[in-house]
């Protein structure tokens, strides 16, 4: 098939916020314990952080780290996780039917983020089983320099300087009946309003994220956003959205088009934000924080919680999905979709970072390795960060899906980088057709160099595994030509593939 893309550098959409490349660390399964933190590991540093994992997280290029949950946060008592380790209590984690040892807490997380270098911590408060006072205590503990009971407690616990956390999530997925403390939109909005007002009195510089819907398909979607925004519009800075995708009953055609749903979700939430802003005659801008997104096989064995009154394991293997090539292509498509909406999505977190539906896997006492999804993320983060999204015109065939009707076979986004080069990220969703993809470059831009990398395999179910860690990797795609004296480039895109084209 033939596909075309026309780029005009005058049509700029938005700058890509660094915060688009955030990730999520939850106390869930082995994300923290034997993931980022394993004091017994031979590569652990003096704080018990696995240095091999830290190196790979740096290579991945993540920015913001959202912590500590997720469903976990709605039952979490943050005070359990500070102070001398020997005094920290073991607690039941009701979200994941596990035991939380609290050997890793706020200080460890802040230190780990610091050690990564240049990253930002985004903290979630428990609005499930706790409320305004605990949120205030946590904020005081984190952000007040000294001279109060809680800030001095922090200093006593080893952190002389405040953590200075700016972004705060007001609870997690409070629209979901599975959430501890779940409530209806009106009750949640009241909680947000009280919590936000109190937190801002303490620190006016914080940025607050209210919970939106935990998926586009929630029965309350739309009404939830409208009710929460109407009641709290001036008090919050972001509304969150969450989305996870997996093939349903083997419907690969729809699964490969998951980006279509994510794009529609973002458009719908944006419309509700705009309508509320107009209705309230407000100048206040609210962004979307897409703070959980990924491929997740939610119905699989790996995602079933432990059960039984005597069975509360510590750091069990939970949600340890192993991703295949098709998953990585969908994943790359979701990233493309987020960047296409960079004018509205100002923050996003890949859920999650290590072991739990993650691009990075570890073995206790053993190696760290990259899943298929590692590659689209690391390359996109490296090349798109700080760039400007350009509006383009794309033409290609479409195909029929059971879930989303007719969808484009190709999906792409173009980013203009500060160094003057252009990057196109593109997926081919077709399961049968290769594409000859012709890019018409902006006037005045003469391409003399082009580098193309593709993620593809003839077997779309091929995976990286512990025993075969490099089965799927990016390869240099040599099926590329610079044409018309540097004003056009054409690239071959194999079926079910993700490709990055970097032109300078």
From the list 35, 70, 171, 332, which residue makes contact with ligand AHR (rule: CB under 6 A)?
70
Q: Say if CB 245 and CB 293 are below 8 A apart.
A: no
In angstroms, the CA 264 to CA 135 distance is 33
Residues 317-356 that bind ligand AHR (CB under 6 A): 351-352
From the list 22, 68, 69, 376, which residue makes contact with ligand AHR (rule: CB under 6 A)?
69
Whether 108 is catalytic is no
Residues 96-155 that bind ligand AHR (CB under 6 A): none
Q: Say if CB 503 and CB 387 are below 8 A apart.
A: no
**Which residues, at least 6 apart from 488, have a Cβ–Cβ distance to it below 8 Å?**
438, 439, 440, 441, 447, 482
* Distance, C-alpha 446 to centroid of its chain: 35
SS3 at position 15: strand
Q: Closest distance between ligand AHR and the C-beta of residue 351, in Å?
A: 4
**Which residues, at least 6 apart from 243, have a Cβ–Cβ distance to it below 8 Å?**
215, 216, 261, 262, 265, 290, 292, 293, 334
Catalytic residue selected from 134, 173, 225, 409: 173
Q: Which is nearer to ligand AHR, 361 or 424 (CB)?
A: 361
Q: Closest distance between ligand AHR and the C-beta of residue 310, in Å?
A: 24
| Total of chain residues touching ligand AHR, rule CB under 6 A | 10
Give which of 269, 176, 265, 275 is closest to 219, Cα–Cα. Answer: 176
Q: Say if CB 265 and CB 243 are below 8 A apart.
A: yes
Is residue 171 a contact residue for ligand AHR (CB under 6 A)?
A: no
Q: Closest distance between ligand AHR and the C-beta of residue 173, in Å?
A: 5
SS3 at position 173: coil
Q: Is 15 exposed, middle or buried, given 0-12, 13-18 or 19+ CB atoms closer than 10 A?
A: middle
Which span (66-74, 221-229, 252-260, 363-371) binds ligand AHR, by CB under 6 A? Answer: 66-74
DSSP state of 502: E
SS3 at position 470: coil
Which span (13-21, 63-71, 122-130, 482-490) binds ligand AHR, by CB under 6 A? Answer: 63-71
- In which region does residue 496 sit, left (phi positive, over 0), alpha (psi from -120 to 50) or beta (all else)? left
Q: Closest distance between ligand AHR and the C-beta of residue 36, in Å?
A: 16
Q: Which is nearer to ligand AHR, 162 or 359 (CB)?
A: 359
Is residue 384 a contact residue for ligand AHR (CB under 6 A)?
A: no
Whether 173 is catalytic is yes
Q: Closest distance between ligand AHR and the C-beta of residue 382, in Å?
A: 25
Q: Closest distance between ligand AHR and the C-beta of residue 458, in Å?
A: 31
Nearest residue to ligand AHR on Cβ basis: 70
In angstroms, the CA 293 to CA 17 distance is 17
Q: Closest distance between ligand AHR and the C-beta of residue 241, in Å?
A: 12
Is residue 289 a contact residue for ligand AHR (CB under 6 A)?
A: no
Is residue 173 a contact residue for ligand AHR (CB under 6 A)?
A: yes
The site string for ligand AHR over 243-282 (x = CB under 6 A, - otherwise) reads ----------------------------------------
In angstroms, the CA 274 to CA 3 distance is 34
Q: Which is nearer to ligand AHR, 124 or 390 (CB)?
A: 124
In angstroms, the CA 226 to CA 87 distance is 44
Q: Which is nearer to ligand AHR, 288 or 424 (CB)?
A: 288
Q: Which is nearer to ligand AHR, 167 or 396 (CB)?
A: 167
From the list 18, 237, 261, 292, which residue makes contact with ligand AHR (rule: CB under 6 A)?
292
Q: Which is nearer to ligand AHR, 81 or 494 (CB)?
A: 81
Q: Which is nearer to ligand AHR, 157 or 305 (CB)?
A: 305
Q: Closest distance between ligand AHR and the C-beta of residue 343, in Å?
A: 25
Q: Is the dihedral of CA 295, 67, 314, 49 positive or negative?
A: positive
Which span (32-40, 65-73, 376-384, 398-406) binds ligand AHR, by CB under 6 A? Answer: 65-73
Q: Which is nearer to ligand AHR, 96 or 369 (CB)?
A: 96
- The edge-to-edge listing of strands for the beta sheet with 410-416 is 475-476, 450-455, 497-503, 422-428, 410-416, 388-395, 2-15, 435-440, 488-493, 480-483
Which token pair is 34?
């034997």
Catalytic residue selected from 26, 108, 292, 409: 292
Is residue 71 a contact residue for ligand AHR (CB under 6 A)?
A: yes
Q: Closest distance between ligand AHR and the C-beta of residue 92, in Å?
A: 16
- ω into residue 32 within 30 of 0, thus cis? no
Residues 177-216 that bind ligand AHR (CB under 6 A): 214
Q: Closest distance between ligand AHR and the C-beta of residue 244, in Å?
A: 7
Q: Which is nearer to ligand AHR, 177 or 420 (CB)?
A: 177
From the list 63, 126, 130, 172, which residue makes contact with ligand AHR (rule: CB under 6 A)?
172
Q: Which is nearer to ligand AHR, 172 or 438 (CB)?
A: 172
Strands 405-408 vs 435-440: parallel, antiparallel or unpaired? unpaired
Burial 271-310 (b: 16+ CB within 10 A, else e): ebbeebbeeeeeeeebbbbbbbbbbbbeeeebbeeeeeee
Q: Say if CB 203 and CB 143 are below 8 A apart.
A: yes
Residues in touch with ligand AHR (CB under 6 A): 26, 69-71, 172-173, 214, 292, 351-352
**Hey, which residues are catalytic here?**
173, 292
């Amino acid at each position: 098939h033939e596909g075309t893309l026309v780029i005009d550098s005058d049509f700029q959409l938005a700058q890509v916020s660094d915060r688009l490349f955030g990730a999520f660390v939850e106390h869930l399964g082995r994300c923290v314990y034997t993931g980022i933190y394993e004091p017994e590991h031979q590569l652990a540093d003096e704080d018990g952080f696995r240095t091999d994992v830290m190196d790979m997280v740096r290579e991945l290029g993540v920015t913001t780290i959202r912590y500590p949950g997720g469903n976990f946060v709605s039952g979490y008592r943050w005070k359990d996780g500070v102070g001398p380790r020997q005094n920290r209590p073991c607690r039941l984690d009701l979200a994941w039917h596990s035991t939380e040892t609290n050997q890793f807490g706020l200080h460890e997380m802040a230190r780990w983020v610091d050690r990564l270098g240049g990253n930002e911590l985004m903290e979630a408060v428990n609005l499930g089983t706790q409320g305004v006072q605990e949120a205030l205590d946590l904020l005081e503990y984190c952000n007040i320099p000294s001279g109060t009971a809680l800030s001095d407690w922090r200093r006593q616990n080893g952190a002389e300087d405040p953590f200075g956390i700016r972004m705060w999530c007001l609870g997690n997925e409070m629209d979901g009946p599975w959430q501890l403390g779940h409530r209806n939109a009106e009750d949640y909005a009241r909680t947000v309003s009280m919590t936000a007002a109190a937190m801002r009195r303490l620190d006016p510089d914080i940025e607050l994220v209210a919970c939106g819907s935990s998926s586009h398909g929630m029965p309350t979607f739309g009404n939830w956003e409208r009710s929460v925004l109407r009641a709290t519009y001036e008090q919050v800075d972001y509304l969150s959205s969450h989305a996870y995708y997996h093939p349903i009953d083997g419907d690969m055609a729809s699964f490969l088009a998951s980006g279509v749903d994510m794009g529609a979700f973002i458009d719908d939430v944006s419309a509700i934000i705009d309508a509320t802003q107009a209705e309230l005659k407000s100048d206040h801008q609210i962004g979307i924080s897409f703070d959980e997104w990924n491929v997740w096989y939610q119905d699989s064995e790996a995602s079933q919680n432990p059960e039984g009154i005597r069975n509360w394991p510590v750091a069990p293997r939970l949600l340890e999905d192993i991703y295949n090539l098709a998953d990585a292509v969908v994943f790359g498509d979701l990233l493309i979709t987020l960047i296409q909406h960079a004018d509205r999505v100002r923050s996003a977190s890949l859920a999650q970072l290590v072991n739990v539906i993650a691009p990075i896997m570890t073995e206790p006492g053993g190696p760290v390795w990259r899943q298929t999804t590692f590659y689209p993320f690391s390359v996109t983060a490296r090349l798109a960060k700080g760039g400007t999204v350009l509006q383009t015109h794309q033409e290609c065939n479409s195909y029929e899906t059971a879930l989303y009707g007719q969808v484009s076979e190709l999906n792409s986004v173009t980013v203009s980088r500060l160094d003057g080069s252009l990057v196109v990220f593109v997926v081919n969703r077709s399961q049968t057709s290769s594409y000859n993809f012709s890019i018409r470059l902006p006037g005045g831009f003469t391409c003399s160099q082009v580098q193309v990398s593709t993620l593809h395999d003839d077997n779309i179910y091929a995976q990286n595994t512990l025993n075969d860690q490099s089965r799927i990797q990016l390869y240099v795609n040599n099926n590329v030509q610079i044409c018309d004296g540097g004003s056009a480039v054409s690239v071959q895109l194999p079926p079910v593939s993700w490709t990055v084209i970097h032109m300078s």
